[in-house]
Amino acid sequence: MVSPILLVRQSHRNRASLPKITARTREELALVSPGTLGIGISSPFQTPRRAPVSPSAGAAFGLPLITPGELWRVEECPSMALALTPPVLPQLARSAKTVPRGTQWSYEPKWDGFRALAFVDGADVYLQSRNGRPLRRYFPELGFPEGRYVIDGEIVIFGSDGQPDFDALGQRIHPADSRIRQLAQSTPARFIAFDVLSEDDELLLELPHHERRGRLERLIDAPLDLTPSTTDVSETEPWLHGAEGVIAKELDAPYRPGERAGMVKIKRVRTIDAVILGWRPGKEEGTVGSLILGLYDDSGRLREVGHTSGFTAKAKRELVDRLKPYETGERGSGEPSRWNNARDLEWVKLRPELVIEVAFDHTSNDRIRHGAKLLRWREDKDPQDCAMEQLLN
């Protein structure tokens, strides 16, 4: 029997030096050695980004096609006697601005971690990321009760303050096993389960959510965590205002892999007043790409805490003239962008006299993790009143 393998989409720079995978069937592809790099898949077939190419592959989940000329890596996939085999794309949530109400909904907290599916077959565990990539080697400390099941959940690391620490999660994606083992001891992760897709030989995807939740509650045991769930919308207030937000799920909805169906997410949105420290040029000449934000700490030092972008084309041009009177004449460049090493992050320094109100959702290590949204200019606000405590609270 040929073990299943995975094809992993690559972005290799020198395609010409790679051998071609010339298999024409799933069976032939299953004979390609793990670790092989290749281009020119000659026979397209339904598969996700990281896809089983064994005859038992579950291609019925509406996943995209491999097309000729794409670059993939072949990897081994664990052979498990489960009703579902990896990869399976998780069901996704639609975004909403307010929490839906009604007897058809249940509510759970939104976690700030890595979405993951766990495939458990006795003592064997395979962890899969949201986009189908293997995660197990990065989280060796995670334990799962023995059995035969597939569960959906979130890998979370909690900091000393009891809050999720997303930066600590990112440090785990490291090539050195010794470093991973060290971090697993110093900052252990937890798996918080919120759905079950199969148990023993039974596929549970078509069951309504409230039945799957009942199955999950009976299945989950230490050392796993079970996410809280309620049908009382008033109990969502602490999650909406003091955590990451709320996930609302339709009680009668089936599990739809890869689809935005059956549930909605309502992110916690926070606002602060911040000082504009400077600006970065946009891609087009004579435009502003982003504004650099700062807040004053307890010692009176103005600290950079993030940026705001997403301006219209008209606003990008107008901002150049609006900011010019505040320029100090100091310019420079920061570290090269992690996504494009050829592009330096240029900046133009401003006198700390302009204040804007911005909205954001996530923070890490006292910084706004993603780009904030400009809400309004605060001509009435003293820059000295823009304190770090806004971010900490």
Segment 294-316, tens digit of pLDDT: 999 999 999 999 999 889 999 99
Please list, in sequence order, all residues whose beta carbon lies within 8 angstroms of the beta carbon of residue 30, skipping any fewer than 6 positions away: 2, 3, 4, 5, 53, 54, 55
pLDDT of 379 reads 87
Query: Locate tokens 């992050």: which residue?
Result: 345
User: Two tokens at 246?
Assistant: 């709320």
Q: Please classify residue 46 by burial: count the beta carbons closer than 10 Å to its beta carbon, then call 0-12 exposed, 13-18 middle and 19+ buried.
A: middle
- Tens of pLDDT, residues 312-357: 999 999 999 999 999 999 988 764 444 344 345 789 999 999 999 9
pLDDT of 31 reads 53
Residue type, 191: F
**Least confident segment among 114-123, 167-176, 243-252:** 167-176
pLDDT of 59 reads 34
| Whether the Cβ atoms of residue 8 and residue 75 lie closer than 8 Å to each other | yes
pLDDT of 28 reads 53
* Buried-exposed string 379-389: b where 16+ CB fall within 10 A, e elsewhere: eebebeebebe
- Tens of pLDDT, residues 258-290: 999 999 999 887 888 999 999 999 989 999 999
Rounded mean pLDDT of 57-63?
33
* Reported confidence tier of residue 78, pLDDT bands at 50, 70, 90: low
* Reported confidence tier of residue 251, pLDDT bands at 50, 70, 90: very high
DSSP string for 57-102: ----S-PPBP-TT-EEEEEE-----SSS-S--PPPEEEE-SS---S
Rounded mean pLDDT of 112-124?
94
Nearest to 347 by CA among 294, 280, 299: 280
Would you give the distance in Å from CA 84 to the centre of its chain?
Answer: 23
Does pTM surpass 0.85? no
β-bridge partners, 9: 72
Torsion of CA 180, 183, 188, 191, to 10 degrees: -30
| Whether the Cβ atoms of residue 108 and residue 228 lie closer than 8 Å to each other | yes
- Tens of pLDDT, residues 29-56: 555 554 444 433 333 333 333 333 333 3
pLDDT of 67 reads 46
pLDDT of 310 reads 85
Helix and strand numbers (H, E) in the chain are: 7, 23
**Residue in 110, 249, 265, 267 annotated catalytic:** 110
pLDDT of 69 reads 47
CATH 3.40.190.10 fits 92-267, yes or no: no
Sequence spans of domains, the chain? 1-77, 92-267, 270-392
pLDDT surpassing 90 at residue 389: no
For 270-392, CATH gives 2.40.50.140
**Least confident segment among 164-168, 226-230, 334-338:** 334-338
Please state, for a pLDDT cut of 70, what percent of the chain lies above it.
77
- Tens of pLDDT, residues 179-213: 999 999 999 999 999 999 999 999 999 999 999 99
**Least confident segment among 171-180, 265-274, 289-298, 357-366:** 357-366
Q: Is 314 one of the catalytic residues?
A: no
pLDDT of 27 reads 52
pLDDT of 43 reads 37
Radius of gyration (C-alpha) of the chain in whole angstroms: 24
pLDDT surpassing 60 at residue 147: yes
